[in-house]
Copies of this chain bind each other. A is one copy, B any other.
Amino acid sequence: MLLTALALTIGQLAADPAPAVRNNLMPEPAELKFMAGRFAVTPEFSVVVRGHDDARLREAIARALRRCEERTGLTFGANEEIASSKPALIIECQGPGQAIPSLAENESYSLEITSTQVTLRAATVVGAIRGLETLLQLLGADADGYFFPVAVIHDQPRFPWRGLLIDVCRHWQPIEVIKRNLDGMALVKLNVLHLHLSEDQGFRIESKKFPELQKKGSDGNYFTQEQMRDIIAYAAARGIRVVPEFDVPGHATSWVVSHPELASLPGKYSIERRWGVFDPVLDPTNEKTYELLDGFLGEMCALFPDTYIHIGGDENNGKQWTASPAIQEFIQDHNLKDNAGLHTYFNSRVHEILKRHGKSMIGWDEILHPDLPHDSVIQSWRGADGLADAVQRGFKTILSHGYYIDLMYSTAQHYTNDPLPAANGLSAAEQKLILGGEATMWSEWVSPENIDSRIWPRTAAIAERLWSPRDVNDVSDMCRRLDIVSARLEEAGLLHEKNRDPMLRRLAGDNATEAERLALRVFVDAVEPVKEYTRGGYQKDATQFTPLTGLVDCARPDSRAAREFAGQVEKFIFAEGKPDAKQLETIARQLQIWIAAGDCVATQLSLRSPQLRAVAPAAKALADASRVASEALKSLDTGTTPAADWQIKQFALLNDAAHPRAAVELPIIPAIKLLVSAAAEQNQRAQFSTEEWRRHLEKQISKLSEDVKLKE
């Protein structure tokens, strides 16, 4: 069967016309102009360095050439001495910039591509590295070979702090995960790797002064200082800063496993294995706490070259403080008012320590307090208000609210989340305090096997938001370019696409037929993991040891199949003039696939794979919802308005199908509701303009969706 299918598929294919030169870049440059013509990439291609030259630049060039070779299959010659007549990339760097990049690094560059020469100009080596990434993204191919389009680019970032946080504590992420993600970050011009290194569930950095911290707090899974130096060098070679976070005074269970005397209540502590906010908190009234922090942070300040050290400071629930008479007495004695005051006291002590070691402090929202020293940076995770509040009080801030990629939101939602929207009500000085943002990859529900699929490609869109001008904000064009940059990320070594099929093979098991595996893939591509903080509700007993190899772990956020389906339905329903028969056929086919795949998984594969038994209801929901859509489509095709109660019945079914099952949900439901209402109301279509028709259907959908919800 599979073979017939393939034959049909391939046989019926007609070649599309070759695409014209398009802007496939992500992030989009500040200024970009394509012109007629091409610079042919041939084996004669070589690189000439003029002006500043150093090892970091040479290594960046070698990496870029290698990636170009791997894509083209060409071998570029040793390029030290070339005849001036040959096609070449000329790199003119004004100076080295900072060996270890800082917030102030100049990352600007320009690219001038003519038919015979490419000139890359930059003030610093990091600027040149950014320009090389742009050039690699410009590499095109057609019947005449590989080429760079003739173009002029002037580019620099909108924000200087463009980060990705990786939580290596809740689920350990070894060095290879970090390195391949640094490659991905460089590709989309992110420049800060924020490593969340201590947490209730693990202490992930080697201290030589206090080795008991990682020995008792990590199950042996931590970065040695040598590995960390390796990571920092790897990052610096790509123009990326490494900002470490040691979360205090809360989220501190793994600290007090080896140092129970520093907890705010006495007790025997062990590494936390569950998820949530826990009570253990360092004792700010104990001078030994500051002795340990001074020793430890001193060591870390020497290890990490960046100016900023992140001290966390979030989600201190204060329970231990409230329960301790000694601590409450301390608050009174020191006029600290309450637990919040004590927290600020603690922060100021930590700030002092960091200052002594030559560093600045960064922390989450909660550290914001009138007495907080003004060189501190606030990382806003709780909302845009926090960000505005911080800058209005004169603090530098970065935005993470809206960039929580662990919460499984769509790329579009992250993309349209601007740290500094046009109508922001801030003064020019305040605006300057907004340094940028960070995507946050919290790791309750990710393993080294699937973490890339949560980070990429969505983080590329966040990278564009932080690099490109504010008015680069066309969601549909972003989605087009996202597919392309996703392929580049895969070539750079990321596993976001690559690991799906192996994970599904394992999940389906040895008894699955090839067709059943195909059905499972179609099914998993049509669903998304549940969003926000709801997953724990589906796996109440989950711990750090729970295997992350189930359907929800294979499913990926922002289903491309669902996104494309919604686009097609939208076009079909709101087409001006006669509905497009081809569009209808495409939609009908997709629905047939989902029906077949859903039924296959629900009734066949679930019998062969015990792991998949629990997902049968989700697969059935996909098939059932698709059947409803098929019926609606048929009604629209034949122009036959269904019976009066049909719409309500279908909505009942769809509202039910919209409920997540097995921790996955069906993002296609809204588009199906649109089809159903359009079918049910079609005899009224003629009364409305297209815009009115849209509003009418939206109202209808909203009404029926709510009605059903209220009845439950």
Contacts and interface: CB of A to CB of B under 8 A. Distances in A.
Given A490-B502, A510-B141, A516-B13, A5 B6 contact: yes
A519 B10 contact: yes
Contacts of A10: 515, 518-519, 522, 593, 596-597, 600
Contacts of A19: 511
Interface in A384-413: none
Interface stretch (A161-169, A234-242, A493-501): A493-501
A295 interface: no
Interface in A116-165: 140-146
A10 to B, nearest CB: 4
A592 interface: yes
B491 A506 contact: yes
Interface stretch (A31-39, A188-196, A346-354, A542-550): A542-550
A52 interface: no
A608 B3 contact: no
Q: When A and B form their complex, which 10 residue pairs have the shortest distance between CB atoms, in order from nearest? A: A5-B5, A5-B9, A10-B596, A7-B592, A69-B547, A13-B515, A3-B589, A11-B596, A73-B611, A145-B610
Contacts of A142: 511, 608, 610
Contact of A502 (B143, B498, B596): B498
Given A498-B498, A501-B498, A593-B3, A15 B73 contact: no
A565 to B, nearest CB: 11
A506 B75 contact: no
B1 A141 contact: no
Contacts of A522: 6, 10
Nearest to A10: B596
A608 B8 contact: no
B8 A4 contact: yes
Contacts of A549: 69-71, 73
A379 interface: no
Interface string A272-287: 0000000000000000
Given A510-B141, A547-B69, A15 B607 contact: yes
A645 interface: no
A582 B172 CA distance: 52
A547 B73 contact: yes
A426 interface: no
A643 interface: no
> Which of A11, A18, A491, A513 has the largest number of chain B CB atoms within 10 A?
A11
Interface in A505-529: 505-507, 509-511, 513, 515-516, 518-519, 522
A164 B550 CA distance: 34
Interface in A477-503: 484, 487, 490-491, 497-499, 501-502
A7 B589 contact: yes
A682 B518 CA distance: 39
Contacts of A146: 610
A16 interface: yes
B547 A515 contact: no
Contacts of A176: 176
Q: Is the interface of A mostly helix, strand, loop or mixed?
A: helix
A94 interface: no
Contacts of A502: 490-491, 497-498
A145 to B, nearest CB: 5
Contacts of A12: 1
A705 interface: no
Contacts of A487: 505-506, 510
A586 interface: yes
B75 A543 contact: yes
A5 B3 contact: no
A590 interface: yes
Interface string A15-50: 110110000100000000000000000000000000
Interface in A51-90: 66, 69-75
Contacts of A546: 75
A393 to B, nearest CB: 46
A569 B72 CA distance: 38
20 contacts: A1-B12, A1-B13, A3-B593, A4-B8, A15-B608, A16-B513, A18-B511, A70-B547, A71-B509, A73-B547, A73-B549, A75-B541, A141-B510, A141-B609, A146-B610, A176-B176, A487-B506, A487-B510, A490-B505, A498-B502
A428 interface: no
A423 interface: no
Nearest to A522: B6
A138 to B, nearest CB: 12
A2 interface: yes
A604 interface: yes
Given A4-B9, A6-B596, A15-B607, 7 more contacts: A1-B8, A6-B518, A8-B8, A10-B600, A13-B604, A70-B506, A71-B549
A504 to B, nearest CB: 11
Nearest to A16: B513
Instruction: Give the residue among A7, A10, A497, A545 with the most B Cβ atoms within 10 A.
Output: A10
B13 A611 contact: no
Contacts of A545: 69, 75
A547 B498 CA distance: 21
A609 B15 CA distance: 13
A140 B176 CA distance: 32
Nearest to A68: B547
B18 A9 contact: no
A392 to B, nearest CB: 45
B75 A608 contact: no
B550 A73 contact: yes
A201 to B, nearest CB: 16
Contacts of A4: 5, 8-9, 589, 592
Interface in A566-608: 586, 589-590, 592-593, 596-597, 600, 604, 607-608
Nearest to A586: B3
A604 B10 CA distance: 11
A524 to B, nearest CB: 13
Contacts of A550: 73
Given A499-B498, A510-B484, A518 B604 contact: no
Contacts of A507: 73
Contacts of A611: 72-73
Nearest to A561: B3
